[in-house]
A = this chain, B = another copy of it.
Amino acid sequence: MSIADLDRFADPSVLILASLAGGDKHGYAMMEDIEELSGVRLGPGTLYGALARLEKRGLIRSLESDDRRRPYGLTPGGAAALKEYLTGVNKIAAVGLQRLVSI
């Protein structure tokens, strides 16, 4: 299940991209930003696993750092994918909510 209880959006990849759209961040900072944004607190395994996959897909990239923190940033492809995804989800949500009120 990508959705824990199906009453909350919790796709780690999308949440990470949306977080990075607000600026470059390292993993731990994303955890907090995502929790504030969505109410979902990603566990470390979930977060860092998703980060590795996103980097491998070229949607985010790892940035230089002097300390032990590993910041990431959106790539142009990542920003484009996020935009397309969110635009689509917006439409689905609009239709779904409209249908619900018509019940």
Give the interface of A toward B (CB within 8 A): 1-3, 5-9, 11, 13-15, 17-18, 21-22, 37-39, 53-54, 57, 59, 74, 79-90, 92-97, 99-100, 103
| Docked-complex contact A57 and B6, CB < 8 angstroms | yes
Give the shortest distance, in Å, between A42 (CB) and chain B (any CB): 14
In the complex, A8→B103 CA distance in Å? 27
| Docked-complex contact A3 and B14, CB < 8 angstroms | yes
In the complex, A22→B79 CA distance in Å? 32
**A6 contact from B3, B6, B37, B59, Cβ within 8 A:** B59
A22-B99, A90-B93, A96-B82 given; A6·B2 CB < 8 A: no
